[in-house]
Amino acid sequence: MNSRAKRVGTQLKKELFQLYGNNPASLILFGSYARGDFDEESDTDFAIVLRDEALSPTSEILRITPFSTPIQIENDILISLLPVSEKRLLTSKQPVYPSIRSEGVKI
């Protein structure tokens, strides 16, 4: 894992645990940074795995943005966040979820 992606993930995870308490099940880096084929224009993709099955991804992104924006600015990197329930991550066949399961790196 790239050291910058790891640093960003660690910062993000700290903020998420302050925001959600013990609700986040995990934070998973996926996409080009997880695979190691990123370039200078790549964003950093993170799945925020939550225990709550009744989550609204849009509401969660709005909730997280005030915490993630300073991290993006500090590290000069674009972060893409995907809030998802544990159940959906484990069972959904939508293309992004099998990719997260197979190539994702837990932070």
Q: How confident is the model at residue 97 (pLDDT cuts 50, 70, 90)?
A: very high
pLDDT in tens, 53-92: 777 889 999 999 999 999 999 999 999 999 999 999 999 9
The Cα–Cα gap between 28 and 44 comes to: 11
**Residue of 59, 62, 56, 61 lying closest to 46 (CA atoms):** 61
Q: How confident is the model at residue 22 (pLDDT cuts 50, 70, 90)?
A: confident
Entry pTM: 0.90
In the DSSP assignment, the letter for residue 94 is S
Classify 31 in phi/psi space as left (phi over 0), alpha (psi -120 to 50) or beta.
Answer: left
Checking if the pLDDT of 43 tops 90, the result is yes
Predicted pLDDT of residue 70? 96
Domain spanning 3-106: CATH superfamily: Beta Polymerase, domain 2 (3.30.460.10)
Checking if the pLDDT of 104 tops 90, the result is yes
